[in-house]
Structures are given as C-alpha cells and as structure tokens.
A and B are shown apart, each in its own frame.
Chain A
Amino acid sequence: MAGTGHTVKSYEEEMQSLNDNLVKMGSLTETQIAEAMAAVIKVDKDSVDKIVKNDGSINELRSIIDEQITTVLVKRAPMAVDLRITLSTLKISHDLERIGDLAKSIAKKVKPLPIDLPDELIGSLRRLGDLVQKQLKEVLDAYLNKSKDKSIEIWKKDEQVDDLTNLAMNEVANYLQSDKKNLEIATHLLFVTKNIERAGDHITNIAESLYYLIEGEYLEGARPKGKPIDS
C-alpha cells in the first residue's frame, strides 16, 4: 500500500522480512487449528503430540517478530504507514500466538475423549470449528490483500461464531444430562468449545489491527454479539 519503496534498502528489507515472518506464522497457525479440530472430530489421539510439539514453531516466530520490531523501532523510528504496520504486526503476531496456544489446548483435550461421542455433538463442534478456520483463512488473506472491506466483514462475522458456540455448549449440556457419568468428558468438551470461541475473538482482534493498519483509525462501536445460551 505504500507504493514506492524506502530510499534506504535495508529498511525495505527489514519490513519485508517482518511481513514474511507474519505470513509464515499465520500459515502455521492455520495448520495447527485445522489439525487440532480434525483431531477432535475424529477423536484422533495419535496426532496430539505432533500438534503440541508444533506450537513451539509459532512461539519461536513470535519471539523473532518481537525482536525485529524492537530493532525497527530503535533504528527507523517508523512514521505513518510504517508505524501502523509495525504496531499492527506486533499485535497480530501476539493474537496468532494465542490462537496457536488455543489449538494446542484443544488438541490436549482429545486424549481423554471416548471414540463414540454423539453425532449431534461432533456435528456442532465441526460447524463451529469450520467457521473459525474460515474466519482465520479470510483474515490472513485480507492481511495479504490489505482489504479494508474484508476486515470489517470478518469483524462482524464473529457474531456467528458466538451463536455456534452457544449451540455447541447446548449439545455438551445435553450430553451431560443424558448421563451424569459424562461429567469429566463434558468438562473437556466445554473447554474445547470455549477455546474455539476464544480463537474467534483473537481473529476479530486481528481484523481490528488490520483495519487500523489500512485506515489509520480504529474500528468503532461495539462488535455484534451472539445470543446468550438458552435464549
């Protein structure tokens, strides 16, 4: 969006490397969320260790980005769009790292799950997981294309994530009510549901940071919220 490059080539390279690392981080986070959700849906306990281990790469990238941003701030005292890119990259990288952590937490809950979970329960988790994955993919694409309209669209769509979260929570409640022995499993599933929803919140944070990067202004007003449970 800045058009012509910086007169100082190394500045240009530093900003490019920052962008590349953020994109790489986004792509890793997307994979982690997808694999964590697949592990839940298929109750695939074998994939858990790999997902837990891969979270380290995301954390490592966040540390690299933190370091790069400190350097850019000290060396370049970035102004205008460069300042906004720098600040937004810092915030987005932290949101991505948190999404990575949530993917890891989701995966960890798979091990105690039984393989015969009710279809309705699996179905509601799949719908919620699919929507969050779609939101993540779209926000990363919007970042690449610097799309203001997409950032607003994604920000607003978190309402649907909230609605699907409530439906999934209801399914977990039904599962618990059907047999009190399900308490432990239901607790794990509530955490899984809540973690997917939290990932959705971080995606809307990313949409907000992206909007600020593009417009130099903050998205105003309260985000639309889904209906509360049992309403």
Chain B
Amino acid sequence: MELENKKIKIQAKNLNVYYGAKQALFNINLEINQKEVTALIGPSGCGKSTFIRCINRMNDVIDICKVDGSIEIDGSEINDKKVDVVMLREKIGMVFQKPNPFPKSIYDNIAYGPIIHGLAEEKNQMDNIVETSLKKAALWDEVKDRLDEPGTSLSGGQQQRLCIARALSVSPEVILMDEPCSALDPIATAKIEELIDELKKSYTIVIVTHSMAQAVRVSQKTGFFHMGKIIEVDSTDKIFKNPSNKMTQDYITGRFG
C-alpha cells in the first residue's frame, strides 16, 4: 500500500537531543501527516518518547536537555525563541502511560485547561466545553450524572479517557500519546483504540507503543527507532508485512538482540 499524498503536519529535520553528555536522538528526520495516526515503535530507551516530548517542548523542563535541529508544525519552527510554549501546548495535547487525572472533580479536570487558557467566559460556555470534550472522548454517557465526583474515582480506562477529554478541551490540533494503554485491560484498551480511530478524523495523532499489534491496529504510518536513530519509516502495512530493513524485521518478529 502506497502512502497517500497527505498534508504534512509535523516535520522533524536533523533533530538531535542530548541529556548532558549523552546523545539521545541522532539526526532524526520524520514527517507526520495531518489527521492520521503515526505509531513510533522500538525497544526501551530507543528515543521514541524523547522524540514525542520534543513535539510539545516537554524537554524544556529538563535542565540538562539540549535540543538542536528543527521541528516544524504547519511549516513554523517550534524551537524558535519567540514561540510561546503555553500556546504551543494548547495546540498539542498529550496523554501519558499512566492515567493522571488532577485530584479534582471530573468537571474540573476538563475545565482546568480552558480556564487557564481563557477559553470560556461564562458558565454555560464551560458546560458546553466539558460536555463536548467528554463526548469526543466517548466518556460522557458514563459520567454525565456524576460530574462532581473526583476524577480519581473512575476506573483506569475511564481515567485515561478523562485525560484524553482533558487534552481535547483546549481544542488541540495534535495529540501525543505515550503508551496510553499499557496500564489498561483489553476492553479498556479496545475503547481507547476505537476512540483513536474516531479522533484521527479531526486530529493528528502520534502514539508511542510497545504493542506491535496495537501499532498495526491503530496507525497508518509507523516509525521504528533504535538507539536514538530512526531506522525505518513507512506505511504501517509495509512495516508489518514486509519491512525493508533487517533490523526492523528482527525487532517486530521478536528476534532482537
């Protein structure tokens, strides 16, 4: 299957990342298409999480971390000093491995982002954002009668969907997911995967996963990282049926090392 000629949303060019003296990413060049799911796979420590943390400049908070090279979103350099990181992160939501709801009510978990970004002036506007975000995250029907209960009272899978709803509440364009299902059971995982399918119609999604089966199920493009380098990027179909690189093949078939 040929990669369709889609619009590039995110483009990394010659990206290098260092943690102190240790180089974590080497000359990464990667294009991420708009409104598509890109899966990043590779063994632990290969740099895939470091890479997605570059996309919303999460590495800024690590003192010893130095990023050079370029990441453009819609053609604009995000590492530019003039870029407002808060605004950048409004555009790029992130969901982590372990669901991390705030110790607040379900409602306030969703309302928090829109409040700090000043997205709603009136209560009914905020109600609307909360409802829409929860609906988009396929959680509304399960929580609509208990919005004032703590987010932490939900099941693991529901908490993860709450975190996705929270990310959606500030109307992002890109959603980064760092192993979003690794702490979830198969049914909760299936619900998140179903949600990813739905969300890709409106958002650009980058997902880091250790599950090959998940990468095959949810993504259209897959990138294989190894020791800080990108080894192969191609359509997911090609990567899992007939990868070009032997190292990719050895990794996905369980022959590594």
Contacts of A76 in B (CB 8 A): 254
The answer, yes or no, to whether A3 is at the interface (CB within 8 Å) is yes
Q: A2 near B253 (CB under 8 angstroms)?
A: yes
Q: Does A226 contact B (CB under 8 A)?
A: no
Question: For the complex, is B27 an interface residue (Cβ under 8 Å from A)?
Answer: no
Interface string of B207-240 (1 = CB under 8 A from A): 0000011001000000000000000000000011
Q: Are A216 and B242 in contact (CB under 8 A)?
A: yes
| Alpha-carbon gap, A77 to B250, bound state (A) | 15
Q: Are B253 and A81 in contact (CB under 8 A)?
A: yes
**Residues from 122 to 169 in B contacting A, C-beta threshold 8 Å:** none
- A77-B213, A84-B241 known; A3-B250 Cβ under 8 A: yes
Stretch of A5-13, A94-102, A108-116, A186-194 that contacts chain B: A5-13
Minimum CB–CB distance for B219 against chain A, Å: 14
Q: Is the interface of B mostly helix, strand, loop or mixed?
A: helix
Quick check: B243 and A80 within 8 Å, CB to CB? yes
> At the interface, yes or no: B75 with Cβ under 8 Å from chain A?
no
Task: Name the A residues within 8 Å of B239 (CB-CB).
Answer: 80
Cα of A215 to Cα of B242 in the assembled complex, Å: 8
Q: How large is the interface on B (under 10, 10 to 19, 20 to 34, 35 or more residues)?
A: 10 to 19
Nearest-neighbour CB distance to chain A for B202, whole angstroms, equals 30
Chain A 63-92 against B: per-residue CB contact (8 Å), 1 yes, 0 no? 000000000000011111111100000000
- Tell me if A145 counts as interface (CB < 8 A to partner B): no
Q: Bound state CA distance, A6 and B251, in angstroms? A: 10
7 nearest A-B pairs in the assembled complex, by CB-CB distance: A216-B242, A79-B252, A80-B249, A82-B253, A4-B255, A6-B254, A79-B240
A-B contact pairs, 18 of them (CB 8 A): A2-B249, A2-B253, A3-B246, A4-B255, A7-B255, A8-B254, A11-B254, A79-B212, A80-B240, A80-B241, A80-B242, A80-B249, A80-B252, A81-B253, A82-B253, A83-B240, A83-B241, A217-B242
Given A84-B242, A215-B242, 19 other A-B contacts at CB below 8 A? A2-B253, A2-B255, A4-B255, A6-B253, A6-B255, A7-B256, A8-B254, A79-B216, A79-B253, A80-B240, A80-B241, A80-B243, A80-B248, A80-B253, A81-B249, A82-B253, A84-B241, A216-B241, A216-B242
